[in-house]
Every structure is written in C-alpha cells, then in structure tokens.
Amino acid sequence: MCRSYSRSKYDNTVCRFFVGGYHGQSGGQTKQKNPRVKVLDPDIDYSKAKSVHSISSWWGIGGIFIVLVVGNITNYFNQHLPDGLRNAHLTNFPNAFISERAWKDLKILNDFGPKPTGTYTNEVLAVDFLNREISYIDQLKNRNQQLVVQNQIVSGGYVGVYMNKSAANVYRNVQNVVVKLVGRSESTTRHALLLNCHFDSVAGSPGASDDVGSCAVMLEILRVLSRQSDVNRYSIIFLFNGAEETPLQASHGFISKHPWAADVRAFINLESAGSAGKEMLFQSGPKHPWLIEAYAKSVPYPYAQAAAEEIFQSGVIPSDTDFRVFRDVGRIPGMDFAHTANGYRYHTRFDSIEYIPLQVLQRTGDNILALTKTIANGEELGSTERYGQGYMVFFDFLGLFFVSYSADVGLMINLSVVLLSIIIPFLSLARSTSGTHGRQIRSETMIGFLATFLGAGASGVLSFFIGVQLDAIGRPMSWYSSTNLILGVYCCPALLCQCLVHLLCNRLFGNKTTPLSLALKVQARLNGVNLFWGMITLGITFTGYRLAYIFMVLILCSLCSSILISMFGLQNTVHKWLLLHVLFQIVALAWSTQFYHILMNMFVPITGRIGSSINPDVIIGAMASFATLFTCSYLTPLLFLLKKMDKLLGELVAITVIAMVLASSTHVGFPYRDDAFKAPAVQRHYITHTLRTFYDYNGGERYTDSGFLLQELDRNAKKTIEGIAMPDVVTPMREIAACEKELFCAIPFYSIWHQVLFENYWLPGPAPVVRQMVTVSLREKEQLSEHEHRLHLVLKGSFQCSLVIGPKAGATVTNWSLLPELPAPIEFNGQRGHFVLLTAGLESEPMNITLDIRHELKKYDGPLVDLLVTTTHWEYRKEHTPVFNRLLARVPSWAHVVPSVAAVNSYTF
C-alpha cells in the first residue's frame, strides 16, 4: 500500500499502486508479464477502504453551519449603525452632525401626519415650519456666512414615460423652499452644489423616512455648515421640494424655471425606498467619475454598489426619484442615495418616526455632510465638463472599505482574473503530477463545469416548480414576513439539487480508474467552477455592464487560494490545501451573502406591490436559487471528500420538508404581520369611494352611479378584497357594464400606471360626499380648416385630478396647450386616449385648455372627443360616509388601506 504525502513544493510525483502491473518509485520500474493492468485510487487507505483525503461526514453539516454563521455576520454588518450624537456632545464636537437636533426637526414634520401635495399639512404647515427653522438657522449663523432664502411657487409640466407608457404630468402652484449657502466664488464663478429632498408624502403615510427624514438631515447639515467660520469654496443650494410623489413635479419646476438652477453643476439627492437602515448610493453620474472619487475619500461609512445602479436603471424596480429630472432635464451629474431596509413600511402608516432611531440620522448625516464638504470645496465643481469622462465600477465590502476604479480598468481586471483563475490551477495541478496527467485534469475540470452549469439550470427549474405549486395550493408569499423560510423553501432544495447533479455527473462522466488522487480531482472540478463563473463574468463584461465585478470578486477569492496552494506545493497534501481553500471561501461567503441580504431586503417587500399578474414565488425562488449557487458553488464539489454523503443530503431533505410544512400548513407561512412585535409587514390596499356622472354632447346628464373601487396590489389581495366586500360580490373592473360604452371604463384613474397595470374591482354602493370637484366646460368650438377643429375648454378646481382625452372614431388630437409636447396615446380596454395627471399645490385660477383635433371628414360638426375628468380627494376622512367607514373597518389589522373619495365626470365635446 502506498499513500501520497507531499513534503516539498513540486518534486513529488503521484504515488501509484498497480495490481498485476507495476509499482513506480524513484528507484526505477519493475515490469511484469501480465498484460492486464488495473489502476486503483492511488490514495486509498485500505485499512479504512477510504482515501486519505476524505473528511468526516459531519463536515457536510458543518459546511452548512459555516454558511449560516457567515450569513448572520454579514447581516449584522448590513444593519450596524454608529451611535447618535446628542446636544451634550456639542462641546467636544462643535462642527459635527448632531442627530438629536435632526430628530427633533423630523418629529415635528412627522407629527403633521400625511402630507400629499395640495393638502393643508403640506402646503401650509410643512412650508411654514421649514421657513421658520431656516430663519432660526440664519439668526444663529457665523457672521462670515451668508444665507439667501427663496420660496418658489411654480407651474409647468413634462411628458413622463414609465413602463413604456407615456403621460402628461402637469402641475400648478406647487412649492419649493430653496436656500443658498453662499460660497467664496459667488462673485466670480456662480457654480453650486445642489442638495435635494422632498417634504411631501403619499396619502396615509407620515413619510418619516420617505422623505422628511432626509429634509431633517439637510436642515442639520445647513445648521452645521452655517455655523463654521470657514466659507465653502462654492455655494450650496438646499432644495426642499414639495411635490415629488405626484411624481417629480417640484424638482422639475426648480430645475426648469428657478434662476439658481443654471448655477448648479452637481447634485446630491436624498431619497428612501424603505424605512430606516443605511442609505445606499445606488445611482451616480452619468459618467463624471470624480463624484465617486469624492465619495471614496470622504464618507466614513460607505454603502454603495454599481450593480444597484444598473439594476435600478433597468426598470425592474417600480419606482423613480428626482435624480431622473436633474439628470435628464437639467443635464446635471449627481448622486442618488436611498434607505432601502424595511420596505414593508414604505408608503404606509408605519413609515413613522417610531421606527427611525437617532443612529439612522447620524449615519446619513455624517456621510452626506462629509461628501458635501468635499464636493463644495473641490476644484472639480468649477469645471465639471473636464472631469465628465467614463464610468466607474464601485462597491463596498460590508461597509468596512470602499473600492472604485474606471470601467476600462474593470475590463482589464475582469479579464485578467478570469484567465488566471483558470490557467494557474490547471498548471499547478499538471505540475504536481509532473505534467503526465493533463488530459485527466482537463476532463475533471470539464466535469466540474458541466455539473455547475447543469446544477444551476436544474435548481432553477426546481425553484420554479416549487413556486408554481405553492401558488396552486393557495400559499403564495409564505416567506413575505418570515424571510428565513426562503432558506428552507428555496435555498435548501436548490443546494440539494446542485449536489445531486454533481453526484450524477460524477457517476455518468467520472473516470473510476483515474490516476489522480481525490484531492487533485476535487481541485480540478473546482477549476470547472472557475470556468463557469469566468464565462459569466466575461459575458457580462463584454456586453458593457459593470456589475460583472460581483462575480469577479468571487473568482478572485478562488484565485488567491489557488496561487498559495501552488506556491507552497500543497496540491496533493492531506487537508492542507483544503484549509486554504475554505479560509478564502469564508471571505467569498461574506461577499456573496452580503448580496443575498441586499437582494432579499429589496425585492421581498417589492413583491407586495407588483400586482397579482406575476407569481412572486417564481421571482423570489429564482433569486434564491441563484443566490444559493453564487454562495455555495465553490463548496459543493467538496462533497466528494466526505466519507459518506448521507448526513448532508439527509439534513437538506429534512430542512426542506420542515420548511415546506411550515410554509404550506401553519401560521408561520401566513404572509402578513401587524405591528404587535414592531415589525409590520402589511398587505396594501387602495379603496376609492366613487361618484360617477355622465354627460351627453349637449351637456345634459345621461346618468350617474356610485360605488367603491378596490385595487389588487399583490397575489393574495383578491381574497382579502372579497372578504372585505362580503356578503356582496365584487366585479372585475373590465367586466362592468360601463366598459362597454364609456371611455376607459370610467375608472377613477389617479395614476395611469397603477390602474392599467393592476386589476381593479368594483363594488356598487351609495354615493360619497363630494363637496368640491374639478369640472370642464366648453367655452368655444372653432373651425380652423375643413378638417381641423379647435376646442377651447375651461378647467375649474384646484385639486389633484386626471384627464383622459379620447378622440372619437375618425378624429385625432394633433396639438394642445397643456405642454409643448403631445404624449403618445395609451391603450386600455380596446380604446386609445391621452392621459394627463394634473396636480394643484396652492389654490389656482381656472385653467384654459385648447385641443386641436383633426377629423377625416370635411367640415364635420359632430362630437370630436370624450373627456374623462377624475378628482381625487386624499386625507378626506371627515367626509367619509358611514357605509364607507364600515367597509374600511372590515380591513384586517395586518393590512394597510389608503382610502380616498373620487368624482368622475364624463363629457363629450
């Protein structure tokens, strides 16, 4: 019997044991006459009938334990925040951001309650508070500093495109509070840095995180900077905008019409897609790598991913920020920050100060204050055009350090790492066998690649099947509030599937008589994993996406261990190479589990507001399957080292079965939670009490009806809606009688994207109390030519409303006075119409609208257009009828409902 132990770097050959053949040693060869030669495993310990490279079966379970421990450590780092500073710390830190002061500002804004644009809380209370607080800051500023304050009341509009649908976005008398902290260069070069937040909120939410928390941070930054004796090189403009949720209107009004907008050379936008947690840098530029360099050298607590930028800009996340307006309308480079944790509370009543500790404000304040100082005092702001070249790859590692480099450098890094990760292990393994077994090494490498590739596909198919089956039995989103179920329902089956595929490939394609030791065989298969991720990395790199760095870092960890194993000649040692491999894989696990937490924290809450047409289990199952492969692909080939695999496979099966039972048969799998344990995960609902009035061509009333519109926002919402309506029965909106003859079914649209994309249900009921509404009347009808007509309309009312303009058969709207641009019509229920969202901040005068319409018939004198006008009253609870209140009382405690009252007027002109 012979065992192979390497005692030097490269001079040991693989010890071979032959039965009926020959026994090769350094001293020579002994030939025998028997022509049949049987090659056995060269490293078998025949006293135990196992390779000396084998490890205890318990290490399979230990590997899972290591993954979970590292995952919990990364989760801790993702949630860790610095301590908040209080007023008592001012003596020792006179120029520091004091989160206690910011928290007091936040509390006042939070306590105003929901602040939709156009409401008293937004247009009066919030604006008055901001002006008063800025006045206090001005009174206490350093005598070297100069503050200039302007209140902008602005009207305008633009055409927005979202999910391939165009709509006119028109606003009247929305408000901005704008403050300039004047810089040294103001008299010569009026370049400025812009900081932006919005103080309005959606209906039903105080908006503590989205976004008055950011406004409180900006107030404290203004307070700190104004009390310093040193004047910044360039001016800093603080924009507190009052109409972002409507969407993006006040920022558009500033950047397109405010006189200071021309001075802005860069911006920092503060937003939120969750509630509390860390603020992530998730958009930058475009181009302008100097912004990332400023971030790298200034922020004390980095949290940034270029991958997040590319994912967000792909449109898969149903959201947008003022970044789009500053970038596309103002042509200004900037940086976009958002809190992304606890997306369950986003746009609900739970987005309140109760869930925002001082530490959140302190972290954001420290980062943005440092970044603001760096940009406002750097030379780049004076000539941004010189520095606006190229894109940057950037990322942080657990917030411990930040890495950034140009996309061109990233191309070279990715290419080098991928090639070296494949070449070095192959040469190392070939050298350890004196170059005699290259073919066997290549064969084992391809088996490793094939097993990883097929395992990825098979686990993805299995996750899809599980998602479909859970949905079929009526248990979708079982993991929604209990996210650890994802590990058992999707990750464990995915890992089990990947292990079984490796075993199957070994059985089908493995060489039972290979002269390679078990250690060399496993390392060769790990090189196959390198090949798999290398192909993905290069494919993403050469298609121009920067997110390839995610996979490059994973490969880099493997490359580092391979280099050290080769340098010290550990390829064929017993367990030493394995120890090095596992140590570097712990780093890789920290990297990969970091992205698991980012993905799940972001996308699990989003599944609660994407509608019912998409099975969310398929989405989360696919992510979990990918995350499992990403996390465990360099550990899965190690299962061949186990003396027995039954413990590992049995544990995976047991965890899967337990998780499936919990998800499908117990309350653990119920998706939603109220705030009993201060961790709400609610189902979302919009219910609109609606009065509809239909007028004929002569202005007479055709008929009226009323009822409730209920919106289906997630996969389980229909069950809840049916329960709320009982004993009455709801009707899908597209099936009601009005859909046969009325424009767009006369649905009370407040947002074309929501109502068109989501299913809506109609419940007939008594009329609501609507004391004021937007009306449209015809002032004049003008014949411009044989085919051209002009309608002069008058719109009265200062409330949030929407218009749907549907030309009659044979007619086409060619121009209008609302905007310079006419958006493309959208289709709904087989009809085409132009959609207009019209927001009013402060009360406005009647609005004159002209429509130019072309008709195919000469001198046509009949009806040209149908016009649907919807007035929506948010925060209208004092006017709710008893019937509406009883309906709202049926909404479960684990659901969040946004009630509204709407008046729909349908005209023909």
Neighbours of 596 (CB within 10 A): 23
User: What's the rounded Cα separation, in Å, for the pair 76 and 758?
Assistant: 37
Listed in sequence order, the residues at least 6 apart from 861 whose beta carbon sits closer than 8 Å to its beta carbon are none
Q: How far apart are CA 528 and CA 902, in angstroms?
A: 61
Average pLDDT score over residue span 193-219: 97
Q: Which amino acid is at 432?
A: S
DSSP symbols for 430-493 = HHHTTTS-HHHHHHHHHHHHHHHHHHHHHHHHHHHHHHHHHHHTT-TTTTSS-TTHHIIIIIHH
State yes or no: pLDDT of 37 exceeds 90: no
- Long-range residue pairs from 326-329, CB within 8 A, at least 24 positions apart, any chain: 326/194, 326/196, 326/251, 326/255, 326/264, 326/267, 326/269, 327/286, 329/158, 329/252, 329/255, 329/256
**Under DSSP, is residue 39 helix (H, G, I), strand (E, B) or coil?**
strand
Structure confidence at residue 203 (pLDDT):
96
Please indicate whether residue 5 or residue 344 has the higher confidence score (pLDDT).
344
466: β partners: none
Instruction: Please tell me the class of the 93-155+176-390 domain.
Output: alpha beta
Indicate the pLDDT class of residue 162, thresholds 50, 70 and 90.
confident
Burial of 33 (0-12, 13-18, 19+ CB in 10 A): exposed
| pLDDT score, position 29 | 41
Average pLDDT, the chain: 92
Average pLDDT in the 466-492 region?
97
Query: Token digits for 10?
Result: 């490269």
CA distance 59 to 641: 9
829 class by beta-carbon count within 10 Å (0-12 exposed, 13-18 middle, 19+ buried)? middle
Q: How many CA atoms lie within 13 A of 619 on its CB side?
A: 22
Q: Which amino acid is at 718?
A: K
Bridge partners of 269?
196, 336
Task: Specify the pLDDT at position 313.
Answer: 86
**Lowest-confidence pick of 69-78, 206-215, 741-750:** 741-750
Query: pLDDT above 70 covers what percent of the chain?
Result: 94
Confidence of residue 148 (pLDDT cuts 50, 70, 90): very high
Which of 300-304, 496-500, 741-745 is least confident? 741-745
Residue 44: pLDDT band with limits 50, 70, 90:
low
Res 7 pLDDT > 70: no
Q: How confident is the model at residue 42 (pLDDT cuts 50, 70, 90)?
A: low
- Residues 543-580: pLDDT tens digits? 999 999 999 999 999 999 999 999 999 999 999 999 99
- Ranking 431-445, 522-536, 662-676, 801-815 by mean pLDDT, the lowest is 431-445
Does residue 496 have a pLDDT over 50?
yes
What pLDDT does residue 20 have?
33
Kindly report, residue by residue over 220-244, the tens digit of the pLDDT: 999 999 999 999 999 999 999 999 9
How does residue 11 score in pLDDT terms, banded at 50, 70 and 90? very low
Q: What is the rounded average pLDDT of the residues 407-422?
A: 97
Long-range contacts of range 700-708, CB-CB < 8 Å, 24 or more positions apart?
Answer: 704/767, 705/738, 705/764, 706/764, 706/765, 706/766, 706/767, 706/768, 707/762, 707/763, 707/764, 707/765, 708/762, 708/763, 708/765, 708/884, 708/887
pLDDT of residue 8: 38
**DSSP symbol at 716:** T
Paired sense of beta strands 264-272 and 192-198, if any: parallel
- Domain ranges in the chain are 93-155+176-390, 408-665, 683-908
Alpha carbon distance 201, 35 (integer Å): 86
**pLDDT at residue 762 above 70?**
yes
pLDDT average, residue stretch 10-19: 35
826/166 Cα distance (integer angstroms) = 7
Tokens of 42: 């060269």
For residue 12, name the pLDDT band (cuts at 50, 70, 90).
Answer: very low
Cβ–Cβ < 8 Å for 387, 289 = yes
547 contacts: CB under 8 Å, gap ≥ 6: 306, 307, 310, 311, 540
**Dihedral angle of Cα 259, 265, 270, 271, to the nearest 10 degrees:** 80
What would the pLDDT profile of 234-282 be if each residue is shown by its tens digit? Answer: 999 999 999 999 999 999 999 999 999 999 999 999 999 999 899 999 9
DSSP run (H or E) holding 602: helix 576-606
pLDDT tens digits, one per residue of 100-133: 999 999 999 999 999 999 999 999 999 999 999 9
In angstroms, rounded to a whole number, what is the distance separating the alpha carbons of residues 300 and 401? 9
Q: How many CB atoms lie within 10 A of CB 316?
A: 10
Q: Is it true that the peptide bond before 515 is cis, omega within 30 degrees of 0?
A: no
Name beta bridge partners: 775.
796
- pLDDT, position 751: 81
pLDDT at 422 over 80: yes
Q: State the amino acid at position 187 in one-letter form.
A: S
Over the stretch 178-189, which tens digit does the pLDDT of each residue have? 999 999 999 889
Determine the residue type at 690.
Answer: T
Q: Tally helices (H) and strands (E) across the chain.
A: 22, 26
Inter-residue contact 225 to 213 (CB < 8 Å):
no
pLDDT at 17 over 80: no
d(CA 721, CA 729): 10
Rounded distance between C-alpha atoms, residue 288 and residue 266, angstroms: 10
For residue 884, what pLDDT band results from cuts at 50, 70 and 90?
very high
Q: What are the DSSP E strand ranges found in 219-377?
A: 235-241, 264-272, 279-285, 334-339
Q: Which residues pair with 704 in a beta bridge?
A: 693
Mean pLDDT of 70-93: 95
> Which residues, at least 6 apart from 846, have a Cβ–Cβ distance to it below 8 Å?
794, 795, 796
Q: What percent of the chain has pLDDT over 90?
A: 87
